[in-house]
Structures are given as C-alpha cells and as structure tokens.
Amino acid sequence: MAMRKIYLDNSATTRVDDEVVGEMLPFFTEQFGNASSTHQWGQQAKQAIEEARNQVARLLNGTPNEITFVSGGTEADNLAIVGIAEAHGDKGRHIITSRIEHPAVLATCAHLEKEGWKVTYLPVYGEGIVRLDDLRKAMTDETVLITIMHSNNELGTLQPIREIGELVREQREAGRRHLYFHTDAVQSIGKVDVDVRELGVDLLSLTAHKFHGPKGIGVLYVRRGVRISPQTYGGHHERDRRAGTESVPLIAGIGKAAELARLHLAERSGHLRNLRDYLEQELFRIIPDITRNGDAERRLPSIANLNFDHVEGEGLQISLDLKGVAVSTGSACSSGSTEPSHVLVAIGLSQDTGHGSLRFSFGKDNTREDVDYVLETLPAIVGKLRSLSPRAVKKSKLEAGA
C-alpha cells in the first residue's frame, strides 16, 4: 500500500486551486500581450488585470484603484514600510511594530533603524497578542507608522487591528495627521473576514499562495489619498507605485483565488475550525504533557501550535514526515543553534520548551481522515522520542516511585 501523504503545512503555502490554474493558462499562450500595449493583445491583458483588481478589491471591501499588484507578501511589506518612511519621514522618524512580525517586516524595520529611524517592538505576552495600552504608550509625535500583523503566522493569533484602527483615527483627529497604519494580513486571507474599511487600515499586505493562488504574486492595498514612495523605478505601471511589466497569468490567478476565497469564506473557515478543534481535542486527550502556544480563542481557525514537553520539535517533524505527514516546527536547528523562533521566544518559551513545538496548519482540502491518521501515528512518535529523553525518563521514574 502506498504511504498516505497528508499536507498540514498550509500556512507555509497551499496547493493552487484547479480553477485558478485554468484561469491563468490562457495568459501564457493565446493572450500573451503586454498590458501597456495599445493594440488588442495589450488591451486583452489590460482587461484581465483590471478584472483581477476588481476581484481583489471586492475581497477586501476596497476600491480597485487602491490595489497594487506586487510579487508577494515580502515585497508588499517592504513597499508599505519603506514607501511610507520615505514619503513621510520629514514628519517624524518613529515606527511601532510588534516582536512577532514576519521577517519581511522585522528586517525592513531593522534596515530603517540603520538609517536612523527609531523602532518600538511591542511585547505580546503569553497570549501572543499586542496590548492597546502598550501601543498607546509607545505613540509619540514622531510616530509616522504603526505596522502590526493581522494574524501571526506561527501561532495564528489575531491582533486587535480594528481597535488599533480606531485608535489611529482618534489620534489623527487629535492632530497627529501624519500617522499611518499598515497590517500584514498574509495569513488571514481566506480564513477570516478581512475588510479594510472596518479595520481602518491605510495599508495591507497579502499574497496569493496562502489562499490557493500561485506563488510570486501579492497585493499591497493602499487607501485612497495615502502617498507612498515607489521602491522600483521604471514605467508608469500600477499607478506609478510599482514599475515593471505586469505578470498577467499570475494576476489572473490571484484574482480568481480572491474571488473563490470571498465566495467560500464561511464554509472554508468552518471546515478549518472543525478539523483544527478535532485535532487539538483528541491530542490533548491521548497524549500527556501538551500545551497550546498562544491564545486559545483569538486566533485563526486554521492553525494549531502545540508544545510537546521533553521532546525536540525537529525530531517530531521529521518523524511525521517519514510517515507522510507535513507539518512545521518553531525550532529548526539550522545554524548550529536551536533557539526557538522569535515568535515562541516572544510568548516566553525557553530554549528547552521551544524545542517541542509543532504547527499544524489546515487547508480547505484536508479531511477528517487526515486528522485521524495523525491521531494514529503521532502518539507512538511522541512516545518513542520521550523514551529517549533523559528528562522524560527521569520524570516517569519519579511518577512510578510516587
């Protein structure tokens, strides 16, 4: 019998939907025009791009001219942060972000620090969520940008974006007119409702491959009236925000994926939650000494991030891979040092406990049988690795003696 293959790493990337692939294919061959050309080939391409822009705008409840196509989440974050910094740096040079942002945000902020910017990294406590009080205290007249992710990629924890949006609005009304608010919503799209008007954000990043679209295409939403400095120089593409010939197939792909994400949001979200809750509930029942990382309620329906005492994350992850199950760990020892990820450190995990963390992330194509297979295989793997662990062996001896 062929080994089962179960993909539970949908926060890393997702399978492209067949319907999305079908939407993209004609733009490689028959309709290969350059959208800047004024002939019919070009106009066909242009039309496809504008249709996709509409689809993404509808998903976010924005307007089409607020949608800028970029290469993905990383570029969107870079363009948002540096774009605001360069355009409004004369008003102040302070940015507020959190300790659990994606490297695309953290590394961009670190770059600006070298250029003389001040950056405040808000704590997230055990629950993995920033607190409004901390944000309020961090704000100064120098603050021009707040960039806080919509949900965290490792824990799935949802940040209080709507509340921050309100706070930003109040601050602007009180005179801080040059304050802008960006959110990286890369993990949230297709899992929870993301409405730019309701959230009150000025800029928002997303990428197609996290919601069954292709890799290499993303969007930066920029609210009407917000000025950013472009980071690429060239032609007048994307309303002068992002020079470079548009990838029509990829843009058609993100448009279709956005439409499907919008149409199926409630159903997919419920499906993900059912599978995730089933996995957690059963694992807590059958494997002792597991804890959840991050807040239990305020999080995406798609992610379970669990900590297994006395075992090391990579051993768990590779052992599951050998059984055909793909998950990820917050503690890959890549550089010879097994520091837990910056996210796990931010919620207070020590080096030792951080080692045993696994992230299961569900997608629309996962089934209850997939979870059953994990429930069948994981207890033996944990048991085997714990039988190797000096700490676990000592603990079970103590318990046996007691």
Partner 1 sequence: MYSAKVLEHLENPRNVGEIENASAIGKSTNPVCGDMLQLYLRLRDGRIESAGFLVQGCPPSIAAGSVLTELVTGMSVEDAGRMAPRDITTALESLPRNKEHCSVLAIDALRDALKLTP
CB neighbourhood size of 22 (10 A): 12
1, 175, 266, 334: which one binds partner 1 (CB under 8 A): 334
Q: Which two tokens stand for residue 121?
A: 């990294």
The rounded radius of gyration (Å) of the Cα atoms in the chain is 22
173, 266, 335, 399: which one binds partner 1 (CB under 8 A): 335
Q: Which residues contact 349 (CB under 8 A, 6 or more apart)?
A: 293, 307, 340, 357
Shorter beta-carbon distance to partner 1: residue 44 or 329: 329
342-381: which residues touch partner 1 (CB under 8 A)? 351-352
37, 322, 365, 367: which one binds partner 1 (CB under 8 A): 322
Q: Is 389 in the site for partner 1 (CB under 8 A)?
A: yes
Stretch that binds partner 1, among 51-59, 102-110, 360-368, 384-392 (CB under 8 A): 384-392
333, 372, 376, 383: which one binds partner 1 (CB under 8 A): 333
Least CB distance from residue 331 to partner 1, whole Å? 9
Q: Is 401 in the site for partner 1 (CB under 8 A)?
A: no
Shorter beta-carbon distance to partner 1: residue 263 or 388: 388
In the 8-state DSSP scheme, what is residue 330?
A: S
- CA dist 298 to 188, 274, 316, Å? 12, 16, 26
Q: Which two tokens stand for residue 153?
A: 């990629």
Least CB distance from residue 392 to partner 1, whole Å? 9
Shorter beta-carbon distance to partner 1: residue 162 or 384: 384
The position carrying tokens 């599978």 is 275
Catalytic residue among 322, 333, 380, 393: 333
Task: Answer for the pair 143, 223: CB distance below 8 angstroms, yes or no.
Answer: no
Least CB distance from residue 388 to partner 1, whole Å? 5
Q: Is 337 in the site for partner 1 (CB under 8 A)?
A: yes
286-315: which residues touch partner 1 (CB under 8 A)? 310, 312, 314-315
Distance, CA of 89 to CA of 84 (rounded, Å):
8
Total binding residues toward partner 1, as defined by CB under 8 A: 23
Stretch that binds partner 1, among 62-70, 180-188, 268-276, 330-338 (CB under 8 A): 330-338
Active site (annotated) includes residue 109: no
Q: Which residues contact 121 (CB under 8 A, 6 or more apart)?
A: 97, 98, 99
Distance, CA of 335 to CA of 316 (rounded, Å):
19
175, 225, 390, 401: which one binds partner 1 (CB under 8 A): 390
What is the per-residue DSSP string for 129-182?
---HHHHHHH--TTEEEEE--SB-TTT-BBP-HHHHHHHHHHHHHTT-TT-EEE
The position carrying tokens 């676990």 is 392
Exposure string (b/e) for 41-61, b if CB count within 10 Å is 16 or more?
eeebbbebbebbbbbbbbbbe
Least CB distance from residue 5 to partner 1, whole Å? 17
Stretch that binds partner 1, among 170-178, 214-222, 287-295, 329-337 (CB under 8 A): 329-337
Shorter beta-carbon distance to partner 1: residue 313 or 363: 313
Q: Which residues are catalytic?
A: 333
Residues that bind partner 1 (CB under 8 A): 310, 312, 314-315, 318-319, 322, 333-338, 351-352, 384-385, 387-391, 393
